[in-house]
Amino acid sequence: MLPYINIPFQYASSATGASVDELKLITSFLLSYPFAGVLKRIPDAKPYQKNCFIIVVSLFYLVGLFDLWLGIRTLFISSAGAYLIASYVDGPFMPWIGFIFVMGHMSVNHTYRQFANAPSKVDITGAQMVLAMKLTAFCWNVQDGRLPQKDLADFQRERALRQLPSLLDFAGYVLFFPSLFAGPSFDFVDYRRWIETTMFEIPAGTDPSAAPKTRKKRKIPRSSTPAIIKAVIGLAWILSFLKFSRWYNSSLVLGDQYMQYGFLRRVWVLEMLGFSTRMKYYGVWYLTEGACILSGLGYKGVNPKTNKVDWDRLQNVNPWGIESAQNSRAYLENWNMNTNHWLRNYMYLRVTPKGKKPGFRASLATFVTSAFWHGFYPGYYLTFVLAAFLQTIAKNFRRHIRPFFLTPDGQRPTPYKIYYDVLSYLATQTAFCFTTAPFVLLTLPDSLLVWIRVYMYAVLGAAASMAFFASPAKPWLIKKLRERNQNALQPKEKAEHPLMGLPSDPAGDIDEAVKEIKEEVEARRRRGQSIGVPTGRDMKVAVEDKLGKKI
Model confidence pLDDT, tens digit, residues 446-499: 999 999 999 999 999 999 999 999 999 999 999 988 888 875 555 555 656 666
Amino acid at 547: L
Specify whether 341 is catalytic: no
pLDDT score for 15: 83
pLDDT score for 367: 87
Nearest Cα neighbor of 283 from 241, 345, 249 is 241
Whether the per-residue pLDDT at 289 is higher than 80: the answer is yes
Under 8 Å between Cβ of 375 and 515:
no
Digit-coded pLDDT (tens) for 253-277: 999 999 999 999 999 999 999 999 9
| Backbone Cα Rg of the chain | 26
**Orientation of helix 6-16 relative to helix 20-41, angle to 10°:** 120
Segment (H or E) for 310 = strand 308-310
Q: In angstroms, rounded to a whole number, what is the distance separating the alpha carbons of residues 379 and 405?
A: 37
Amino acid at 370: S
pLDDT score for 523: 67
Residues in the chain: 551
What's the mean pLDDT in 145-162? 93
- Give the HSE-up count for residue 163: Cα atoms under 13 Å, Cβ half-sphere: 4
Tally Cβ neighbours within 10 Å of residue 416. 11
Alpha helices, DSSP H, located in 146-214:
154-159, 167-174, 188-195
Q: Which sign, positive or negative, has the C-alpha torsion 300, 302, 308, 309? A: positive
pLDDT score for 448: 97
Backbone angles phi, psi at 303, to 5 degrees: -70, 120
Instruction: Annotate 67-84 with DSSP letters as a single string.
Output: --HHHHHHHHHHHHHHHH
Q: In angstroms, rounded to a whole number, what is the distance separating the alpha carbons of residues 402 and 421?
A: 9
Digit-coded pLDDT (tens) for 92-113: 999 999 999 999 999 999 999 8
Whether the per-residue pLDDT at 11 is higher than 70: the answer is yes
pLDDT level of residue 354 (50, 70, 90 thresholds): confident
At residue 53's C-alpha, the angle toward residues 51 and 59, to 5°, is 105
pLDDT score for 206: 67
Digit-coded pLDDT (tens) for 523-548: 667 766 655 555 556 656 654 564 45
pLDDT score for 522: 72
SS3 state at 413: strand
20-29, 48-57, 79-88: the lowest-pLDDT one: 20-29
Q: In angstroms, rounded to a whole number, what is the distance separating the alpha carbons of residues 216 and 213?
A: 10
- Phi-psi group of 317: left, alpha or beta (phi > 0 → left; psi -120 to 50 → alpha; rest → beta): beta
Digit-coded pLDDT (tens) for 383-422: 999 998 998 899 999 999 999 999 888 889 999 999 999 9
* Candidates 105, 110, 341, 374; catalytic one: 374
SS3 state at 240: helix
Exposed/middle/buried for residue 73 (C-beta within 10 Å: 0-12, 13-18, 19+):
exposed
Cα torsion at 498, 351, 141, 298 (round to 10°)? Answer: 0
pLDDT level of residue 18 (50, 70, 90 thresholds): confident
SS3 state at 146: coil
What's the Cα-to-Cα distance from 11 to each of 5, 23, 248, rounded to whole Å? 11, 11, 24
Q: In angstroms, rounded to a whole number, what is the distance separating the alpha carbons of residues 390 and 499?
A: 12
Digit-coded pLDDT (tens) for 129-147: 999 999 999 999 999 999 9
Exposed/middle/buried for residue 372 (C-beta within 10 Å: 0-12, 13-18, 19+):
middle
pTM: predicted TM-score of the whole model, two decimal places: 0.88
Q: In angstroms, rounded to a whole number, what is the distance separating the alpha carbons of residues 50 and 45?
A: 10
Instruction: Render the burial of 146-158: b for 16+ CB within 10 Å, e for the rest.
Output: eeeeeeeeeebee
Q: In angstroms, rounded to a whole number, what is the distance separating the alpha carbons of residues 511 and 56?
A: 53
Q: In sequence order, which residues have a C-beta less than 8 Å from that of residue 190 and are 6 or more positions away?
A: 199, 297, 313
Considering the chain, what is the average pLDDT of its residues?
Answer: 88
Tally Cβ neighbours within 10 Å of residue 200. 20
Q: In sequence order, which residues have a C-beta less than 8 Å from that of residue 162 and are 6 or more positions away?
A: 145
